[in-house]
A and B are shown apart, each in its own frame.
Chain A
Amino acid sequence: MATAKKTKTKKAPKEASIPLLEARDITKAFGSLYANDHVNLSIKPGEIHALLGENGAGKSTLVKMMYGVLQPTSGQMFWNGNHVIIQNPAQARDLGIGMVFQHFSLFEALTVAENISLAMTGERSLADIAGEVVEVSNSYGLPLEPDRAVHSLSVGERQRIEIVRCLLQHPRLLVMDEPTSVLTPQEADKLFVTLERLSGEGVAILYISHRLEEVKRLCSAATILRMGKNVAECDPRKETPASLARMMVGEDIAEIKASSRKSGAVRFSIENLSRKSDDMFGVDLDNVTMSVRAGQILGIAGIAGNGQEELFALISGEQVAPESSVIEIDEKTVTALGINARRQLGVAFVPEERMGHGAVPHLVLSENTLLSTHAIGLHVKSGMIDRGETGRFSSDVVERFDVRVPRPDPVAGNLSGGNLQKFMVGREISLEPGVLIVNQPTWGVDAGAAATIRQAIVDLAEQGSAIVVISQDLDEIFEVCDSVSVISDGRLSPAVSTGDIDYEGIGLLMGGMGASSEKEGTDSHAH
């Protein structure tokens, strides 16, 4: 650390050419699979450096080695020009490397402060840490309540914990794996201000993102990986998102083909849905009303933790809605029906959580198929699983949605997040449902895969299905939806045509109805 300080204060101009961290010829093999194959990467102090690549290109493997979670099979790391072997995360933290993980490394049963304390080296009292959490999180516009248990928090709030946890360590190099995928445009803007401030203070940032607009705006250098190998180095400011995507994928990304859809009869509707949350930290839904016609795609925008999960649970029938409300599918009242009965009426659901909610990690894909198809009587013959059919169905989904599998019919847990997402969305769309409800369809999915999923959603609507897309990604909403409502603190705004509103308008609705990010959570159960 002493050398690092000297670099910054005395010899900054001269030594700026020495990379803060350099990875040379890093190779990581898992059995016969090369996740990284002679990868090189170097980051200068104060630089915001993008690491780009599709799902499974080896980005996560590379940063895990930088953080000491994995050990390279061969190759070397240099820190300030000195050869280092980073054996464990504690050592990485001592060097000054902080990391925000894509798949959260949080403990659900513990509080925010306890979670943060576990990532700090040295003995400090929880009260002390809690105080600093409040201070740092507010100053960076990422408000957190230190005493809340993580299991009661939304995905967005969990991401904030990861970020704040890193900031508290005052890192020299900050590795961020998909930090903005769960943030609103306004929140992301705040984060960029933070990152630029850190960069100005001399902190290097290695930034992994699928949002290429963001990379172009923020980063001054980029390393692009494809199939575990370096394919390009560039200055993203001089590129376009399309040219960056081409380097990542190796081919052009298809644009979503807008369809000429005609809207028909109302296929799905909710009236007067109010429900107090069972969870003391949950969001109470307040008089939610919506309706979707055949051929129509309704987007529900909103910051994570404003009632999306609660709403999804009631729409899918995982929670039974109160009798005062009316939920109709193709003019049949389903308010009191459970999830299977609803599926039998031709509805399909894709939940937000991939592992454990949408798919069982320890089951193979063909078995995961059965989880949603058995309800509608598919793939079951006289009470027995028809393994031939489930296998055929799942391999069709794998092929049609370009799910990259390490071997035929792997366990779901072996797929990367984006690939599993493609499989889950594909599984439901292949059933050709009359109504599709999908929560965060492309969260943590790369540009190519997201395009595949969005195109499939649009194509389904063209066939006359009614679709509800719950998403935090405004680009996605504008790309696929005909109309949009905003959910904020459990209330849903009336639907507006996407042609009649812009990002700013939606942003105002997200924050303007009483759930601005400053007070989110604190008052969600106070009225």
Chain B
Amino acid sequence: MDTFTAIFLTVVSASTPLLIAALGELVVEKSGVLNLGVEGMMIIGAACGFAAAITFDSLIMGFIGGMVGGAILSYFFAVLVLNFATNQVATGLALTMLGLGVSGLIGEPFAGVTIQSSPMEFLSFVGEIPVIGPILLGMDPIAYIGFALLIGVAWFLNSSRAGLILRAVGDSPTSAHTLGYDVLRVRLYAILFGGACAGLAGAYLSIIYTPFWAREMTAGRGWIALALVVFASWLPFRLLVGAYLFGAVTILQFHAQGAQIAIPQQFMASMPYLATVAVLVIISASRNRAKANTPASLGRVFVPDR
């Protein structure tokens, strides 16, 4: 494996959790709900996933555990913001704090344990392909799932009827309600999906990326995922570009330090946020472009009148 392949593979594994968590959040935001608790759901996913992987001695169970953990936490959020119509921003922030606390509790018994993950054997034939072959071979299954999820979400939003209903709910919950759609149920499903995605992304971090459990190991990736959704202006394929860009910046920052390049580490760490600000400025310049993609009811509480 040459240096390029090695570096690229580290970029892939740094980008995958960002992509998956951001895809989940994109679906949530398209339904008009702003869930700022991605960081909390990710860290819960990391803890639950790691605990399940060790307990059942199975990576698959680990990923499932992470998704379930993230979804359960997001269900609390859904009950609060949908049924009790609480402020979405405040509830999301509370969710992050709750997630950070509870994950410490869940992960405590598993501190210091490591997981051995093995490369995928069944894909060995792709190793023959020049240049990208070794990369494809070196990628873990979750990276593939990330791509599949991307295509799935893009198809769902643009081509399926359920996706159309989801976008309609995010655009105007009042109109959707008038036409007889159950706005709260659509939003509940979206929030649960977002929670499961964040949980999977978290489980990926603890099971594959590090691979061990440490408190607060998500280290702000949930926030980057949130920023990515805006960066991508709610378009799934831009999310891919964004996730890999930010993944690459994260990795670059290590290599820059290794190569003694005098860029302050803090500057590199702030890059994703600066890039998001820049993108926000660019998309806001054209009113129509921003209007077409931004869910119009984002962050607004909807209470159906009966």
Contact = CB atoms under 8 A, between A and B. Distances in A.
Interface of A: 68-71, 88-93, 101, 104-110, 114, 117-119, 123, 149, 151-152, 278-280
A90 B174 contact: no
Interface string B168-179: 100110111111
Contacts of B164: 110, 114, 117-118
B185 interface: no
A105 B171 contact: no
B291 A109 contact: yes
Q: Which interface class (under 10, 10 to 19, 20 to 34, 35 or more) fits B? A: 20 to 34
B180 A88 contact: yes
A173 to B, nearest CB: 16
Contacts of A109: 167, 171, 291-293, 295-296
Interface of A is mostly: loop
A110 B291 contact: no
A110 B288 contact: no
A108 B293 CA distance: 11
Nearest to A151: B291
A107 B180 contact: no
Contact of B168 (A68, A70, A104, A110): A110
Nearest to A279: B288
6 contacts: A89-B180, A93-B180, A107-B171, A109-B295, A151-B292, A278-B288
Nearest to B165: A118
A109 B31 CA distance: 13
A110 to B, nearest CB: 6
Contacts of B165: 118
Interface in B126-176: 161, 164-165, 167-168, 171-172, 174-176
Interface of B: 161, 164-165, 167-168, 171-172, 174-181, 287-288, 291-293, 295-296, 305-306
Contact of B179 (A71, A118, A123): A118
Contacts of A117: 161, 164
A278 B287 CA distance: 9
A114 B179 CA distance: 13
Contacts, number: 66
Contacts of B288: 151-152, 278-280
A71 B180 CA distance: 13
A91 B180 CA distance: 9
Nearest to A281: B288
Contacts of A93: 180
A71 B172 contact: no
B296 to A, nearest CB: 6
Given A110-B168, A118-B168, A105 B291 contact: no
B175 A105 contact: yes
A281 B64 CA distance: 48
Nearest to B300: A362
Contacts of B171: 107-110
Give 8 nearest A-B pairs by CB, closest first. A89-B180, A105-B175, A105-B178, A107-B171, A90-B180, A88-B180, A109-B171, A107-B168
Contacts of A88: 180
B178 A89 contact: yes
B175 A107 contact: yes
Nearest to A152: B288
Contacts of B176: 107, 118
Given A70-B305, A105-B172, A151-B292, 11 more contacts: A89-B179, A91-B180, A92-B180, A101-B178, A106-B175, A107-B171, A108-B171, A110-B167, A110-B171, A117-B161, A118-B165
A151 B291 CA distance: 8
Contacts of A92: 180
A110 B296 CA distance: 11
B21 to A, nearest CB: 24
Contacts of A108: 171-172, 291, 296
Contacts of B179: 89, 105, 118-119
Nearest to A115: B168
